[in-house]
Amino acid sequence: MFTGIVQAVGRVAEAGAGTGGARRLAIDTGGLATAGWRHGDSIAVAGVCLTVIALADGRFAVELSGETLVRTTLGRLAAGDAVNLEPALRATDALGGHFVTGHVDGVARVRDCRELGGVLHATIEAPAALARFIAEKGSVTLDGVSLTVGRVSGGAFAVVLVPHTRAVTTLGALAPGLELNLEIDLVARYLDRLLDARGRP
């Protein structure tokens, strides 16, 4: 479990083949402290919950399954690419964002963005199957960043990025056409499943 509050921006150091058809990434932590990390720990990389399989000073490795490659943008990462990082939430940690699982639902696309007084206003196009889960003033996660939804119009929704968010995450480089890992709100996901099980539209 995560919060969508990015703790560091890391960079892909290596990208190549893993075991059994998986893809392996080695990621520099961007100064994120790894003291206490162990093999098998979870970390959100660009919003995707991954398992640490190797660990060295200032660097860790993960493998991407076929499902991860299909559902997310991580299969396109190359050496040098920046990624948002967040270690798994501890019971004593502050919950500054919202509950995030790291189980990405699909890939969204930036439709347009404009800057007003240092604040970036962006319109994001969600996949058609996910648009109904996004509500005004609700929460979404984009590339691991917890954001509040502004207006919603059809399959598109608005978000606002304040200077701090732009400075400490990869979303400072937002531009039209950019694809982002999208996780819908956890409550919306389970509520939909519950109503579906009860036979309600």
Topology at the third CATH level for domain 8-87 = Elongation Factor Tu (Ef-tu); domain 3 (2.40.30)
CATH 2.40.30.20 fits 106-197, yes or no: yes
Domain ranges of the chain: 8-87, 106-197
Supply the pTM of this predicted model.
0.92
Which pLDDT value is given to residue 166? 95
Q: On the CB side of 98, how many CA atoms lie within 13 Å of its CA?
A: 17
Distance CA(117)–CA(145), nearest Å, equals 21
Residues of the chain with pLDDT under 70: 200-201
**For 12-28, how does the pLDDT look when each residue is reduced to its tens digit (9 = 90+)?**
999 998 888 789 999 99
**For 155-176, how does the pLDDT look when each residue is reduced to its tens digit (9 = 90+)?**
999 999 999 999 999 999 999 9
Q: On the CB side of 65, how many CA atoms lie within 13 Å of its CA?
A: 8
Distance CA(142)–CA(122), nearest Å, equals 12
| Whether the domain at 8-87 and the domain at 106-197 fall into the same CATH topology | yes
Strand order across the beta sheet in which 82-87 lies:
48-51, 42-45, 82-87, 8-17, 23-28, 59-64, 54-56
Q: 95 by DSSP, 3-state: which?
A: coil
Which pLDDT value is given to residue 200? 64
The CA R_g of the chain, rounded to the nearest whole Å, is 17
Bridge partners of 15, per DSSP, are 25
Contact 40, 51 (CB under 8 A): yes
